[in-house]
Amino acid sequence: MATSTSGSSSQSNYSIKPVIVSIPIDSLVVQIESPVDFSSLKRNKVDMDALISAQKMAVYFQMLNGPTYVNLVKEFWIRAEVFDVDSAKAQEREAVSRNPSLKGKSRKEMGLEPFHGLEIKSVVMGIPVSITEGVIAQACRMPLEGRF
């Protein structure tokens, strides 16, 4: 894994991740139509503007209906994998099997990234990308709280 310095003072890790799925990238279809057609609803006398505004979700729906970069989406998903509690424990077991002196140590002491919960990990153009509940909440411009 090579390390490169970007224009800022922080460093980014670039890596090559293997393709996870056996589906040819050209056979993937990315749906890029509007997920909610508010104009059609309004024409049928269902005005959602007040509801969407009250929930402060207008920006979210604008984002959903924004541009879609099909090749980036495909590159993300063919290399994506779910990293959950079981994956984190397996990663720790693997580190201990390589170096038994790590048994009982923290993830940090093992040289592993901290585990903060379920995430979808991938690499796009050599840059690691992670989707978590917090990332989704931030993209929706919503607080990370609530029941779901």
pLDDT digits over 87-125, tens only?
999 999 999 999 999 999 999 999 998 898 899 999 888
Q: Which residue has the higher pLDDT, 12 or 65?
A: 65
| pLDDT interval class at 9 (50, 70, 90) | very low
DSSP character string of 71-140: HHHHHHHHT-EEE-HHHHHHHHHHHHHH-GGGTT--HHHHTPPPP-S-EEEEEETTEEEEEEHHHHHHHT
Question: Comparing C-alpha atoms, which of 1, 22, 3, 24 is closest to residue 12?
Answer: 3
Q: Does the structure show a pLDDT above 70 at 7?
A: no
Phi-psi region of 104 (alpha: psi -120 to 50; beta: other; left: phi over 0): left
Question: Comparing C-alpha atoms, which of 33, 30, 122 is closest to residue 69?
Answer: 30
Number of Cβ within a 10 Å radius of residue 116: 11
Listed in sequence order, the residues at least 6 apart from 45 whose beta carbon sits closer than 8 Å to its beta carbon are: none
pLDDT digits over 26-83, tens only?
888 887 776 777 888 889 998 888 888 898 888 888 877 778 888 888 989 888 999 9
Q: Which residue has the higher pLDDT, 24 or 14?
A: 24
Which amino acid makes up residue 132? Answer: T
Q: Which residue has the higher pLDDT, 1 or 47?
A: 47
